[in-house]
Amino acid sequence: MMMIRRVPTVALSVLCVACSATKWQQPGEIRPSTYQMSEERIKRSVGKLRRLAITPIRYEHVKDGTRVPDKELPVTREWSSMALSHLRDWKGYEVAPLELYDDMYPQKLGRSRDEIDRSLEALAKWAKDSPDGEPPPAEVVSTVNGIGRALNTDGLVIVQGFRREPSTWNVALVILSASLTWPLLAVEGYFEMRADLYEVETGRIVWRHRISERRIDVDDHWPPRSAMQQLFDPIEQALPRALIDR
* Residue 40 confidence (pLDDT): 57
Whether 61 is in a domain gets the answer: yes
Apex 139 CA angle, 209 and 162, nearest 5: 35
pLDDT digits (tens, 9 = 90+) for 186-224: 457 889 999 999 999 999 999 999 999 887 655 666 666
Amino acid identity, position 129: D
Q: Is residue 22 part of a domain?
A: no
Contact 21, 211 (CB under 8 A): yes
Is position 4 within any domain? Answer: no
What does residue 14 show for φ and ψ, rounded to 5 degrees? -65, -35
In a domain, 199, yes or no: yes
Pairing of strands 205-215, 94-97: unpaired
Residue 150 lies in a domain: yes
Residue 55 lies in a domain: yes
The number of domains in the chain is 1
Looking at residue 155, its pLDDT comes to 97
- Using the predicted structure, report yes or no on whether residue 57 has a pLDDT greater than 60: yes
**pLDDT at 169 (0 to 100):** 55
CATH of the domain at 146: 3.40.50.10610
Tell whether the torsion through CA atoms of 184, 186, 188 and 190 is positive or negative. Answer: positive
Average pLDDT, the chain: 82
Give a yes or no: residue 21 inside a domain. no
Q: Whole-angstrom Cα distance, residue 165 to residue 185? A: 11
Say if 173 falls within a structural domain. no
- pLDDT tens figures, 77-100: 999 999 999 999 999 999 999 887
At residue 43, does pLDDT exceed 90? no
**DSSP E strands: which ranges in 112-180?**
155-164
Three-class SS state of 233 = coil
- Whole-model pTM: value is 0.83
pLDDT above 70 (res 178): no
What confidence score (pLDDT) does residue 168 get?
60
Residue 107 sits in which domain range? 49-167+189-238
At residue 16, the pLDDT reads 46
State mean pLDDT over 18-40: 82
